Amino acid sequence: MSDPALDVVEFVLTTHLYSDRRDLDENDLPPRFRQVFWTDTPGEDGPGGVERPLKATDDTVRTATGVERPWEAVSDLLFTQRTDFSGEISLTQPEMALEWVHERADDERIATNPTLAAAFEDHDDLEMSVTHEEAREDTRPIHADRVWIDALLDEYFDEEEDAEMLDLVNVRAPEEIETTLEDLVLTGDQEEEIQKLVKAIEHREYLASIGLREIGKLLFVGPPGTGKTTISRALAHELGLPFVEVKLSMITSQYLGETAKNVEKTFEVAKRLSPCILFIDEFDSVAKTRRSDEHAALKRAVNTLLKSIDDISLIRDEVLLIGATNHPDQLDAAAWRRFDEIVNFPKPDREMRADILRIVTEEMDIADFDPEEIAESTAGLTGSDLRMVLREAVLRALTEDRMTLTQEDVVAAVEDFEERDNLKNMDMIDGEGAEIVGDGGSGSHDHDDEGTGHTHD
Ligand SMILES: Nc1ncnc2c1ncn2[C@@H]1O[C@H](COP(=O)(O)OP(=O)(O)O)[C@@H](O)[C@H]1O
Ligand SMILES: [Mg+2]
């Protein structure tokens, strides 16, 4: 139901209005519009931005709207003109264009274009039910754009000196995160925590005003494959925040002499990118080093980490900190104390497993599929395991050139999975047996990189 003329006029009108109204800023432009005007000349407010006046040329219109022949789409309208020489499309009568758009654009479109919402709001006769403020709230801010993130990182990191650091820290723009909260099955607890967070972020000024500053540090605890990483990313997507991800084992093992500095830099990056989510995975790798007789540089790094956590605040720095661990038993009091909410990620129960199976198979064609039956026979499997089971079933069917699965395929894949899981455990006992047993033994599906995390010296 695309309407090329409306797409083009919306763009041309938006560039016109935005160029005139100095009270509007980048966050009043729809992300797909502002990206064509982005320049990374550092300014007062950041590593780049959008400079006025904005010009609608064949090129910019095409990139922003996807309309191949912009001028053809609008040439028969009374209020448009095109300068042959520059290829610029402009409005002979902006007022008429505004009325024209008002007649055709629905609320949904206006809600994604704060510049237009502002124009209608300030106009005496052109009422719209979406306010300027609402549109701004619904529109992704510029600091969540990939270009903004890249420009900030470029500005902040010396290419040679810090290249290694950028390997350790992974930054994702919310638009790049594919799995959303709808694709995940959450426990009641998890849903509640997310609700609280969303509200806390929304009302952070209020919280600060009543002196509540100690919020926004979460620890996700549970076996591998229960969704800790995926939910954190989905949250970034949901909230429109950049996602800064580090694996602590990498930071503490790779560049020993630099470790404390790297920890500090990680937090610096997060503060620069704020508001954002800082996700620290493998949080337990810290605790381990505290207890054992480790290198002095590593101890320093751990202290730096704990101090950095103390110093960062959702209310003041707009950084939401999420730690994740598969080994809560290895965390000491000093580490626990720093988190204000602990969120449990248990292995899914029968009902959750059935829901996960439904989601995973949504796009698949399975004859007589009975997720309840599969859920019944997969006690102990995580969301990640279930995904693997289904992948196995699909591949098996493909070896027989089938794209329609059967319930039997899935049942067979479950059996396969369990067999493989047994093998895996045997391998653990044979190979690194002494270490694993001495470690107290982790869950049966918990074959992670135990013992390989700290191979420095
Ligand atoms: N509760 C769940 N609902 C849906 N999918 C899940 C769930 N838990 C795990 N998964 C899937 O399993 C995979 C691994 O999850 P991940 O977030 O990496 O687990 P963790 O970080 O806890 O080890 C992801 O593809 C994710 O989509
Ligand atoms: Mg993970």
- Of residues 419 and 233, more confidence is placed in 233
Continuous segment of H or E residues that includes residue 314: helix 314-317
Start and end residues for every CATH 3.40.50.300 domain found in the chain: 144-344
Least confident of 42-46, 49-53, 394-398, 420-424: 42-46
In this predicted structure, what is the pLDDT of residue 372?
A: 97
User: For the segment 117-143, what is each residue's pLDDT rounded down to a tens digit?
Assistant: 999 999 999 988 899 999 998 888 888
Cα(218) to centroid(ligand 2), Å: 15
In this predicted structure, what is the pLDDT of residue 42?
A: 77
Q: Which residues pair with 218 in a beta bridge?
A: 322, 341
**Nearest atom (ligand 1) to Cα of 384:** 12
Cα(288) to centroid(ligand 2), Å: 18
Start and end residues for every CATH 1.10.8.60 domain found in the chain: 350-438
In this structure, are residues 242 and 167 in contact, taking their beta carbons and an 8 Å threshold?
no
Cα(417) to centroid(ligand 2), Å: 20
In the block, which residue shows the tokens 């954002």? 276
User: For the segment 167-217, what is each residue's pLDDT rounded down to a tens digit?
Assistant: 778 899 998 999 999 999 999 999 999 999 889 888 888 998 998 877 889
In the block, which residue shows the tokens 């800064």? 244
Asked if omega into 141 is within 30° of 0 (cis), the reply is no
What SS3 state is found at 321? strand
- Provide the residues around ligand 2 (an ion) whose CB is within 5 A: 229
In this predicted structure, what is the pLDDT of residue 457?
A: 36
Percent of the chain beyond pLDDT 70? 88
The class of domain 350-438 in CATH terms is mainly alpha
Least confident of 96-105, 122-131, 435-444: 435-444
Q: Name the burial class of residue 406, with classes exposed (0-12), middle (13-18) and buried (19+) by CB atoms within 10 angstroms of its CB.
A: middle
> Are β-strands 243-247 and 169-172 bridged in parallel, bridged antiparallel, or unpaired?
antiparallel
The class of domain 144-344 in CATH terms is alpha beta
Across 97-138, the runs of DSSP E, i.e. the strands, are: none
Least confident of 54-63, 322-331, 427-436, 437-446: 437-446
CA dihedral 280, 222, 369, 406 (to 10 degrees): 80
In this predicted structure, what is the pLDDT of residue 341?
A: 92
Of 315, 249, 314, the residue nearest 277 (C-alpha): 314
Average pLDDT in the chain: 86
Percent of the chain beyond pLDDT 90? 58
Q: Kindly tell me if the per-residue pLDDT of 429 is higher than 90.
A: no
**Pair of tokens at residue 65:** 């709207």
Q: What is the C-alpha separation between 239 and 426, in angstroms, rounded? A: 43
**Nearest atom (ligand 1) to Cα of 179:** 27
| pLDDT category of residue 47 using cuts at 50, 70 and 90 | confident
Residues at CB less than 6 angstroms from ligand 1: 179, 184-185, 224-230, 345, 348, 356, 359, 382-384, 387
In this predicted structure, what is the pLDDT of residue 439?
A: 40
